[in-house]
Structure 1
Amino acid sequence: MKQLLGISGVLLITGMLLGACGGRADVPGNKAQADEVPVQETKINAASSGTKGSAETKEPSAAQEKCASFYPHGGGASDADIVVDDEGPTAILAAEDGTRTEYGISGAAMNASVEALKKLKACGVDLNTPDAQGETALMLAVENKTFASDSQQAAKYDQAVDYLLEQKVNVNAKSKAGQTAYTVAYVNQDQQTVEKLEPYATSDERATAKLYTELGNLTLKEVKRLVEQDHADVNAGFGQHEFPSFFAAVELGRTDIAAYLIGHGADLSLRPGDEGGISILHYAVSFGNLPLTKLLLEGNYGFDANETDGLGIPLLSRAVSQSNYEMVNYLIEQGAKANATYWDYGEEVTILQDVDEDDPDGLKIKRLLIEHGAK
């Protein structure tokens, strides 16, 4: 499978590249990885079974036929600047040191390669093609500009954005997390790109970006206007873990706003974050927000005091490890099992082991847990 990289690396041709199209091309994914192979090592046996370019390779589409040449069943890729296989076209750019870099549409955008984008376009690739996360080339170019090491590199991302806008891509496309190119630029405080995308932004995009970025300073009245009148997307997720606004409200201690958003469109099934994610209930407990925890457990939201997060850690464990006596007592009242166990790095752990006995409340919590069956 073709892979792509972020700004720090490139994806280089390895192993067998079969089937080519002498001009331009695509690839999904978003993990950075690189393997360097000199040009002379890219010559391969195109007829090998089960490899790119084998007899099972699909016939070219009408778009792929636009390339100067196409040979899915034979020929080496060492002299090609496009490879077409059943995943679609991939642009291949030669470097001065003789290595050849493979770019799909997402990789081209993430690495700000206008040359690769042009080759892909010429070979019939739709520049609106999203990756597995639903992010388009425009979104990826805007997002990765944030990681540019200097102004010169940032300028390359500006050029990629300009090229994509010239090609009239769908500026308002949404990722699976609900992001658009404009909201990403706004959240990243990239004023230059914000101004560039402003003419294309919809009122709900502006409201979504404002709700997330200015949440800590907004009054509840202002939040209501953004949601009810301007149609801000309360479920759009941003940042590394793609937390939506109602998660951000919990983190900022804005219980009033979190409660409002929960009652006005928040998708409580969302589990943002790594390792299987975390629910809004776990997030509230993690931040010691007892009022919101009560709202979620006592309201008709389908939560349970014994639920675990993506790592299998129970709610009660989080409260105990924080020495939050009030939260621990409340969760037990709501049916949380004091004798529950979970696995931590291959070791079975009890709730009692989470107690911090050096904390004054820790000893109170220990007694409370033992009273309710903890061992």
Structure 2
Amino acid sequence: MTELVATTPGLYPLPDWAKQRLSELKGHQKGDLISGDEGPEIIDAYEQAREEVVADQRDANLDRVVEGQLRWDDNLAHPLTVHDSVETGGIVRYYDNNNFYRDPRVVDELGFSGDVAAELKATTELLDGDDSLQAVLPGPYSLSDLATDEHYGDEAAFLDAVAEFLAGEVEAFPEHETLFLLEPSLVENAPGDGLDARASEAVDAVAAATDADVVVHSYWGALEEKVYAHLMDADVDAIGFDVVSGDRDQTLYNVNEYGTKDSVALGLVDGQNTLVESPETVRDRIEWVQDQIPAQEFDAVYATSNTELFYLPVNKYREKLTALAEGVALARGEETEVQA
């Protein structure tokens, strides 16, 4: 029987009070903040905000709880922008939208950092023995794509180095149920011949560093056929599909032609649109996908947003969490507040 799991890919919007306080403390706006250079007042604000977003997820009855990545002012580039071997360059557009990040210029060997592990350890304390923790990282291809290499000198070598760095970070994580590797660059800037296979191997290297279930979540469209075929070679538990904004026909073609993993992640609510989907819409989208692939019963379906959620106002992000959880409950046949 398929396990239905309500979760998100993280990167939540800062609570309004935290945004105001951090703006006053740092004197900058989001996208220009100096991540990693944090005094006690800044650390305290982030800790309070983390408590709030963990409570948001529990209140919504999500099955997996993420840290929220509120410190990730540079979005998916964050694990590099706070690294000692990285110098931050100018402001760069974050994919094709109105968000920006500081260009991480890698100038030396990428050794161990431990930044994300520290965030996750703080989250486990808030969960108080609950085993629902989900870790979130940029996938190795997307992280290398968002960065500038000024040390390794070769695209393939740089990708391998980023994968090795991420694997080392994962090894320091506290126990977690799931690891989401976010790989929008596989869609937005698809790797060409040779690098597509290398990207799959890089994902494999990171996934091998954990005993948790690993989900590779791509979004903003459908994966190209060759990229998908190579990604299927990676030893991961699930591949994520954008059901909201993706090319559904291309996605279904890939799945029917090359199969898919035993589990799947489905981007069912729009992480960039303030229109909040109803629980019934979430349920219907889960059932629609299952109807399109009748020959396969998944071990697990991770019902999630198609993108990160930091684009949304705080009230809308919270409503999206509730819609996901209640939609999954409907799909399970459980009674929800919507039905009551």
Larger Rg over CA atoms: 1
**Fold conserved between structures, TM > 0.5:** no
TM-score, normalized by length of structure 1?
0.33
Larger RCO (alpha carbons 8 Å, 6+ apart): 2
